[in-house]
Structure 1
Amino acid sequence: MKIVAADVVVTSPTRNFVTLKVTTDEGVTGLGDATLNGRELSVAAYLKEHVVPLLLGRDPANIEDTWQFLYRSGYWRRGPVTMAAIAAVDMALWDIKGKVAGMPVYQLLGGASRRGLSTYGHASGRDLPELFDSIRHEKEHGFSAIRVQTSVPGIKALYGVAAQAQASGERYDYEPAQRTALPVEEDWDTRAYLRHLPGVFEAVRNEFGPDLALLHDGHHRMTPLQAARLGKDLEPYDLFWLEDCTPAENQEALRLVRQHTTTPLAIGEVFNSIYDIKDLISEQLIDYVRCASTHFGGISPLKKVMDFAAVYQVKSGFHGPTDVSPVGLAAQMHVGMAIHNFGLQEYMEHSERTNAVFEQSLTFVDGLLHPGDNPGLGVELNEEEAAKYEYQPAYLPYNRLADGTVHDW
């Protein structure tokens, strides 16, 4: 069997997605996700101009060899654009292998280690009543673990807080990337955030009791010392994890955080390779790996990093926002089904239009997510539907402090 075509499809049903479709001489096709929010066309160009020509004529069965070839032959390694492109190829080849074998990909990775994937939902509110309504809505939808994000007095706009009231029955499909010519500026005040947040979690615990698993995303905005303080202040409220408490490019920063708090830490959604996270795992500075298959090079390296993490009792907490396409979500679901050290899967439901473009076999029942048992990844691309939605420029916001200094968003 040989690869005879590799097509890059860019579509924007409710947000931009980049999909690679690999076709073999026997008519078997495989899909891969190459979406990089706010920089989608850079990955599409990388695929079209530098990757697709290298795939034609190759044997799709040789997944590891193809991955190593794409990673090492470019010389300039890593980075989100390169790794998203490689991830798309890797996913597509696993998809093909599963279809040829007549099995879902998780069976090829060692079989099911669980009935389904425990997931967490997303609650947010501009005040406590709205936040409580949002949490109740997520619980009613089947989530037993919920990420809590809240507005902060004195900050006009804040990551993770949906614009609509969650009590209205709308599912949380927060899309921070706005379709504007330039990124939108937002404001930030760390001191106000640190003062306000512990009281919010105290109120949530008082309202919902000790059994509900609560999470929070700091979104890289704190210094190590600030992150350590927040982790310590949140200890009485028993968080399942505190996510991205400080920019983790400086892996040593997590040593300081770890010294001062027992709040579990989850890191990795912006990481692109094992080299970004290996020390955090081996020194046990984190508890959950947040890496996403789409931005980490695909299924192959994600499975490897979790096998490495298992040695240190570090679990998975894979990134699963709606800017990872249904193909990318399916890829990491299959990894999550197979590994022993699964922790929790982020799950944000895609829009109806997105689900019409990407036809899926996944199920979400009683709080458990399952990729389905269709051969391959369990996702098919409706190209006629995809063609209805042209790419639209969109950028994530950025933060400035009160004095005008650009800050982490």
Structure 2
Amino acid sequence: MSATDTIVAVDVVITSPGRNFVTLKITTAEGLVGWGDATLNGRELAVASYLRDHVAPLLVGRDPARIEDTWQYLYRGAYWRRGPVTMTSVGAVDLALWDIKGKATGQPVYQLLGGAVRDRILTYTHASGRDVPRLLDAIDAQRARGFLAVRAQSGVPGLGTVYGVSESGPGPGSGAGPDHARAGQGPAGRGAAPDVEIWDTDAYLRHAPEMLAAARAHVGPELKLLHDVHHRLTPGEAARLGRALEAVNLFWLEDVTPAENQEVLRHVRRHTTVPLAIGEVFNTVWECQTLITEQLIDFVRTCVTHAGGISHLRRIAALAEIWQVRLGPHGPSDISPVAMAASLHVGLSTPNFAIQEYMGYEPVVHEVFRHAWSYEDGYLHPGDEPGLGIEVDEALAARFPYEPAYLPIARRQDGSVSDW
């Protein structure tokens, strides 16, 4: 990439090999191609339109090497800013420009971020079952694949379907990681509207401590156990659950309560020492600020693509490092392997990066998104190919058209909507 190279084309690729992905392709005059992930689960077409109609025209003719200036231009230069659609769009551009920078210099992105501070990145995957015995079988299957950290979820007695709980046990795996449809959570439901699940907080609070205590007794002290509440509790209920789980020695308890009002976490923190992880739905450092600077959480979960890309996730990491808060970025199978690659490059080069979520992908997803990153024995590595180490098979991607798909809605027993 020379000093005179410019962006000549910006394209949006929408594909659905098992689930929907939105990918940004930026091409320069010298023929370099950068890839960015723009997937926002259940709102994919909103981001695709934002990119095509409002961002792509602004990028053509710009210098692809000016990554920070482009980030400032798209974020600070716009009157309407922040929010998941905007920040996912900005994040996709940022990832693609870092990919181009790496390819132009012949370096993997982590080298451009200061080089490796660790040899590999600890990862966790999901295990679930309709009941506790099936959950324990699922955990054993993930341990057999080499995982050293597992998120444990189970059905709740008296309830039907529960989000994050697979109806089937773990499958044989894809060879590149866990088979996401069998390892804990399948794709969002296809259809014109979300499915509805019935939720009962009291039943969950009776069940969760017993379920997680059984999991700890089964696996012993070494395996790192995690659990996700999916924002379903009030601050008082969250504090009660945290206190009940202290003896289980969780690696973290995730999303115990909606955190738009960050001050409510003060109540939770006062009543429990269980490590808390929050932030996968956050889009900027501002949503994380109070939680980090008051040390109300132990792990921040912001996703590299939904939080404005590598450039902005590094700002969040820098603030968190000062307050001894660590990163554990969101990484389900509804972010594409492009975002996974970017998160791993950040992880390898960021001192306070703790763990990366990794559910795995269907085999065809690995074919559409060919990647240098790899999984082995409980750890991930981004690889050493230039840029992000990603290439997209556009011809294969075109064989999988978009289909509407949504995550389920939760309603309480009385029919009122529960927090997601």
TM range (shorter): over 0.9
Q: Please, which runs of 5 or more residues in structure 1 have no aligned partner? A: none
**2:180 touches 2:362 (CA, 8 Å); kept in 1?**
no
Alignment pair present for 1:224 and 2:228: no
Q: Which of 111, 115, 118 is residue 111 of structure 1 equivalent to? A: 115
Q: Please, which runs of 5 or more residues in structure 2 have no aligned partner? A: none
Closer, same or farther: CA 176–132 of 1 in aligned 2, 3 Å: same
What do residues 140-196 of structure 1 show as CA deviations (whole Å, max 9, x unaligned)?
Answer: 111111100010011111111012122776834323511111111111000000000
Alignment pair present for 1:299 and 2:294: no
Which runs of structure 2 are paired with 1:354-373 in the superposition (5 Å)? Answer: 354-373=365-384
Q: SS at 1:406's partner residue?
A: coil
Which runs of structure 2 are paired with 1:282-321 in the superposition (5 Å)? Answer: 282-321=293-332
**1:293 touches 1:302 (CA, 8 Å); kept in 2?**
yes
Q: Which of 180, 190, 196 is residue 191 of structure 2 equivalent to? A: 180
Q: SS at 1:74's partner residue?
A: coil
Give the equivalent residue in structure 1 for 2:138: 134
Distance 2:158 2:202 in 1: 10
Q: Which of 153, 158, 162 is residue 166 of structure 2 equivalent to? A: 162
Deviation at 1:262, TM superposition (A): 0.3
Q: Which of 352, 363, 369 is residue 341 of structure 1 equivalent to? A: 352
Distance 1:72 1:203 in 2: 50
Q: SS at 2:35's partner residue?
A: strand
Give the equivalent residue in structure 2 for 1:13: 17
Alignment pair present for 1:60 and 2:64: yes
Q: Which of 192, 207, 212 is residue 218 of structure 2 equivalent to? A: 207
Q: Which of 87, 93, 101 is residue 105 of structure 2 equivalent to? A: 101
Give the equivalent residue in structure 2 for 1:45: 49
Distance 2:130 2:186 in 1: 17
* AA partner of residue 267 (structure 2): L
* AA partner of residue 147 (structure 2): F
Deviation at 1:350, TM superposition (A): 1.1
**1:125 touches 1:166 (CA, 8 Å); kept in 2?**
no
Distance 1:98 1:383 in 2: 21
Give the equivalent residue in structure 1 for 2:209: 198
What do residues 8-27 of structure 1 show as CA deviations (whole Å, max 9, x unaligned)?
Answer: 00000110000000000000
Alignment pair present for 1:380 and 2:391: yes
* AA partner of residue 146 (structure 1): V
Deviation at 1:341, TM superposition (A): 0.7
Q: Under a length normalisation based on structure 2, what TM-score does the superposition of the two structures give?
A: 0.96
Give the equivalent residue in structure 2 for 1:255: 266
Distance 2:134 2:186 in 1: 19
Q: Under a length normalisation based on structure 1, what TM-score does the superposition of the two structures give?
A: 0.98
Give the equivalent residue in structure 2 for 1:171: 179
Give the equivalent residue in structure 1 for 2:78: 74
What do residues 272-328 of structure 1 show as CA deviations (whole Å, max 9, x unaligned)?
Answer: 101101110000000001000111000000011101110011111000000010001
Deviation at 1:73, TM superposition (A): 2.2
Alignment pair present for 1:245 and 2:256: yes
Alignment pair present for 1:390 and 2:398: no
Distance 1:273 1:131 in 2: 35
Distance 2:105 2:409 in 1: 46
Give the equivalent residue in structure 2 for 1:329: 340
Q: SS at 1:10's partner residue?
A: strand
Give the equivalent residue in structure 2 for 1:90: 94
Q: SS at 1:205's partner residue?
A: helix
**1:130 touches 1:166 (CA, 8 Å); kept in 2?**
no
Give the equivalent residue in structure 2 for 1:264: 275
Q: SS at 1:390's partner residue?
A: coil
**2:180 touches 2:186 (CA, 8 Å); kept in 1?**
no
Q: SS at 2:339's partner residue?
A: helix
Count residues in correspondence: 409
**1:137 touches 1:166 (CA, 8 Å); kept in 2?**
yes
What do residues 220-242 of structure 1 show as CA deviations (whole Å, max 9, x unaligned)?
Answer: 01001111111110001000000
Distance 1:176 1:152 in 2: 21
**2:279 touches 2:301 (CA, 8 Å); kept in 1?**
yes
Distance 1:408 1:356 in 2: 36
* AA partner of residue 329 (structure 2): F
| Identical-residue share of aligned pairs (%) | 59
Q: SS at 1:73's partner residue?
A: coil
**2:180 touches 2:333 (CA, 8 Å); kept in 1?**
no
**2:36 touches 2:92 (CA, 8 Å); kept in 1?**
yes
Q: SS at 2:405's partner residue?
A: coil
Distance 1:249 1:183 in 2: 23
* AA partner of residue 307 (structure 2): F
Q: SS at 2:269's partner residue?
A: helix
* AA partner of residue 380 (structure 1): E
Distance 2:171 2:308 in 1: 38
Deviation at 1:201, TM superposition (A): 1.3
Q: Provide the aligned C-alpha RMSD in A.
A: 1.1
Give the equivalent residue in structure 2 for 1:121: 125
Higher mean C-alpha displacement, 159-168 vs 175-184: 159-168
**1:239 touches 1:263 (CA, 8 Å); kept in 2?**
yes
Distance 1:200 1:171 in 2: 24
